[in-house]
Each structure stands twice: as structure tokens, then as C-alpha cells.
């Protein structure tokens, strides 16, 4: 892939799929398979923040973990800057680890409780041979400064910090190797609203200053709208809609995106929460409905929705939607 055009996307994901299998039942165990992600394709440009939204259990986090090869995908292709992530050997993978990082949802579980911050941030720098000795200390100080923490934080343990501060440390650790792309898996949903805003501002500054790309996974439309340039909407392991912000929120096309928008709270006491579109639980991913996964909840359901799954098709420049209404 040497003759790659300069404007090639940073990350290309094609037909990524992962099915989790578990044996359940007694006395005769049955294999239960959960199709966590079902042929998901998307791209991320350099310096871009791409949002992935959807209900819990729709496969958002699995996408992030499969792209980072924290779990092995069953099928599909992940190319980062032209390099094949899924097939990378140990040496190649080590190189990729420096450029692809992740920030976790729960900052309490994301840090090793027995490690001082100086080591939590310094260890990756040492392991990858980026700096040695005193230089590591200085690098740690710079990282702490970059995420708005004092140098004295280095001597302390994770439990001595608040949730927001711990998330800053988690971000600093993700920055330690100088990545190009960070998967942020619900990075603010475990935090207070006021702290959420601070963390989002920090991430946005980092994106601009370091020209970082983000894949920002969230169930909070307001947060995604604020932070991202483009959004994917996932439902039960499939992408149902893709489009730029704010168009996708101003004029959502897929009935599921409309449901999401209608049910996300508006910070205005005058406006009653509209939940009239459709109630109902998301169906179990163990036993997804045939055809379009959304049809049991869809107010516009047609006969063929129950039989064939609609493909993701481009309906306008940059906007793709998987719905029979728009074919």
C-alpha cells in the first residue's frame, strides 16, 4: 500500500463482525451466540471525531475493542493508516499500539490501584523505549500538565483522586505514546455533568492541538453533538445511519435515530419529554428479529422489513441510512 493517496482515511473498517458464543443450560448445554457486531464498515479521517451512538448492548464497545484487537474479530478488515490491524504480527502490532489508544468509561477500574501515577504514565514510555531515566519523569510531568493536573499528582495513587481527575489520568496514559487515534469508550458517562463538560473541553483541545482523531462512543446524543463531526448510529450490531453533525440530529432519517432524538432529554423545562414515537424494549441480541432488527419497534414497519434487512445506502452526500423507506 505504498501508492496510497495523501487524503486516505486514517482508519478503514470493513465488514467487521464478532459473535460471542457461550454454552448455557443444564443438563444439555446449548450454544448461545450473540452477534455483537454484524458487518460494520466505517472510516475515520485524520483529526476527526467520529461518534458512535446506540443503546447499551448494541455493540459500540465491541467495535472499539475489535479495532484495537483487544478481542479478535471473526471477520472483516481493520486498516490503520494502510496497515492491517487484524493480521499484524507481534512487532507490527507493537508499533500500532503506539498509534491507537483507548480511554475507558469507568476511571476507577481503568487504573492499576497499586501503581503510582508516575509509573502508570511512565511505564508505557519506558516499555516502548521512548525515553529513559530522568527524561521519563519530565515526559510524565508534561503529560500531567497537558491534561490539567499538577506535577505533584505523579507521586500519588489512583484512589487519591476524584473521578474526573482519574479520567484525566486515563487520558494522559492514552496520550503517553503519542497516538494518532483514540477510541473513547463512553469517557464521560461515569462522571458528574459539570465534570463531563471539563473533560469534553480537554478532549477537544487535545484533538485540535495534537491533530488527534477520536472514535467517541456514547449513548448521550447531546455529548456527541457537542464533540463529534460525524456520527454512526448503531442498533443491535448494525450501523443504521451515518451522517454529519448537526444534520443527523436536525433531520434524522432512520426511525431509530428519530426515536433516539425524541427520547433524549432537552434541557428545557418548558418542553415535555416526547416519548410518543414508540415504546418497547430493545430486542435481545441473542435472538434478533429477522429482517430489519428494528422492525418490532418501528412505527413505519412494512411487510418486507420483517423479511429482508435493508442495506446501508447513500441517500445524500455523506449520509447513509439502512431503511427501506429511503430506497
Q: Closer CB to other proteins, residue 110 or residue 322? A: 110
- Interacting residues toward other proteins by CB under 8 A: 65, 68, 70, 93-94, 97-98, 100-102, 104-106, 109-115, 123-124, 127-128, 170, 173, 176-177
Instruction: Compute the least distance from the CB of residue 110 to other proteins, in Å.
Output: 4
Instruction: Compute the least distance from the CB of residue 26 to other proteins, in Å.
Output: 18
Contacts of 228 (CB under 8 A, 6+ apart): 49, 50, 51, 214, 216, 245
Q: Closer CB to other proteins, residue 105 or residue 218? A: 105
Is the bond into 27 cis (omega within 30 degrees of 0)? yes
Q: How far apart, in Å, are the Cα atoms of 180 and each of 101, 250, 308? A: 8, 30, 39
Q: Burial level of 184, CB count in 10 A (0-12/13-18/19+)?
A: buried
Q: Closer CB to other proteins, residue 100 or residue 200? A: 100
Q: How far apart, in Å, are the Cα atoms of 102 and each of 75, 165, 173, 175, 290? A: 22, 17, 9, 9, 34
Instruction: Compute the least distance from the CB of residue 61 to other proteins, in Å.
Output: 10
Q: How far apart, in Å, are the Cα atoms of 109 and each of 106, 112, 114? A: 6, 7, 12
Instruction: Compute the least distance from the CB of residue 20 to other proteins, in Å.
Output: 14
Q: Closer CB to other proteins, residue 161 or residue 235? A: 161
Distance (Å, whole) CA 13 – CA 277: 32
Q: Closer CB to other proteins, residue 53 or residue 125? A: 125
Q: With beta carbons less than 8 A apart as the criterion, state whether 149 and 168 touch.
A: yes
Instruction: Compute the least distance from the CB of residue 248 to other proteins, in Å.
Output: 29
Q: Closer CB to other proteins, residue 14 or residue 69? A: 69
Instruction: Compute the least distance from the CB of residue 251 to other proteins, in Å.
Output: 37
Contacts of 179 (CB under 8 A, 6+ apart): 98, 99, 100, 101, 212
Q: Closer CB to other proteins, residue 4 or residue 23? A: 23
Among candidate residues 179, 215, 170, the one with its CA nearest the CA of residue 67: 215
Question: What is the H or E stretch that residue 150 is in?
Answer: none
Instruction: Compute the least distance from the CB of residue 115 to other proteins, in Å.
Output: 8
Q: Closer CB to other proteins, residue 40 or residue 100? A: 100
Among candidate residues 210, 202, 231, 180, the one with its CA nearest the CA of residue 49: 231
Q: With beta carbons less than 8 A apart as the criterion, state whether 241 and 40 touch.
A: no
Q: Closer CB to other proteins, residue 68 or residue 298? A: 68
Instruction: Compute the least distance from the CB of residue 276 to other proteins, in Å.
Output: 38
Distance (Å, whole) CA 165 – CA 133: 26
**First-to-final CA distance of the chain:** 35
Instruction: Compute the least distance from the CB of residue 93 to other proteins, in Å.
Output: 7
Residue 220: strand, helix, or coil: coil
Amino acid at each position: 500500500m505504498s501508492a496510497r493517496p495523501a487524503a486516505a482515511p486514517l482508519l478503514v473498517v470493513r465488514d467487521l463482525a464478532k459473535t460471542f458464543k457461550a454454552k448455557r443450560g443444564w443438563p444439555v448445554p446449548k450454544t448461545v451466540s450473540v452477534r455483537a457486531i454484524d458487518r460494520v464498515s466505517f472510516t475515520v479521517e485524520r483529526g476527526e471525531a467520529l461518534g458512535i451512538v446506540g443503546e447499551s448492548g448494541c455493540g459500540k464497545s465491541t467495535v472499539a475493542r475489535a479495532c484495537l484487537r483487544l478481542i479478535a474479530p471473526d471477520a472483516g478488515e481493520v486498516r490503520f493508516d494502510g496497515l492491517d490491524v487484524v493480521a499484524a504480527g507481534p512487532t507490527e502490532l507493537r508499533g500500532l499500539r503506539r498509534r491507537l489508544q483507548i480511554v475507558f468509561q469507568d476511571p476507577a477500574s481503568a487504573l492499576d490501584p497499586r501503581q503510582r501515577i508516575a509509573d502508570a504514565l511512565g511505564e508505557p514510555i519506558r516499555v516502548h523505549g521512548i525515553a529513559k531515566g530522568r527524561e521519563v519523569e519530565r515526559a510524565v510531568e508534561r503529560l500531567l500538565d497537558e491534561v490539567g493536573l499538577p506535577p505533584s499528582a505523579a507521586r500519588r495513587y489512583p484512589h487519591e483522586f476524584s473521578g474526573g481527575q482519574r479520567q484525566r489520568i486515563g487520558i494522559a496514559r492514552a496520550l503517553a505514546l503519542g497516538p494518532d487515534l483514540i477510541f473513547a469508550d463512553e469517557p464521560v458517562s461515569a462522571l458528574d455533568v459539570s465534570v463531563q463538560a471539563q473533560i469534553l473541553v480537554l478532549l477537544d483541545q487535545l484533538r485540535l492541538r495534537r491533530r488527534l482523531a477520536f472514535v467517541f462512543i456514547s449513548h448521550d446524543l447531546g455529548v456527541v453533538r457537542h464533540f463529534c463531526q460525524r456520527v454512526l448510529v448503531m442498533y443491535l450490531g448494525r450501523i443504521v445511519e451515518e451522517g454529519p453533525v448537526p444534520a443527523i440530529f436536525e433531520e434524522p432519517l432512520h426511525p431509530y435515530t428519530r426515536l433516539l432524538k425524541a427520547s433524549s432529554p432537552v434541557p428545557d423545562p418548558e418542553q415535555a419529554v416526547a416519548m410518543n414515537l414508540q415504546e418497547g424494549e430493545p430486542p435481545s441480541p441473542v435472538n434478533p428479529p429477522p429482517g430489519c432488527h428494528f422492525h418490532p419497534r418501528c412505527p413505519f414497519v412494512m411487510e418486507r422489513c420483517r423479511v429482508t434487512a435493508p442495506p446501508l445506502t447513500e441517500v445524500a452526500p455523506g449520509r447513509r441510512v439502512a431503511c427501506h423507506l429511503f430506497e
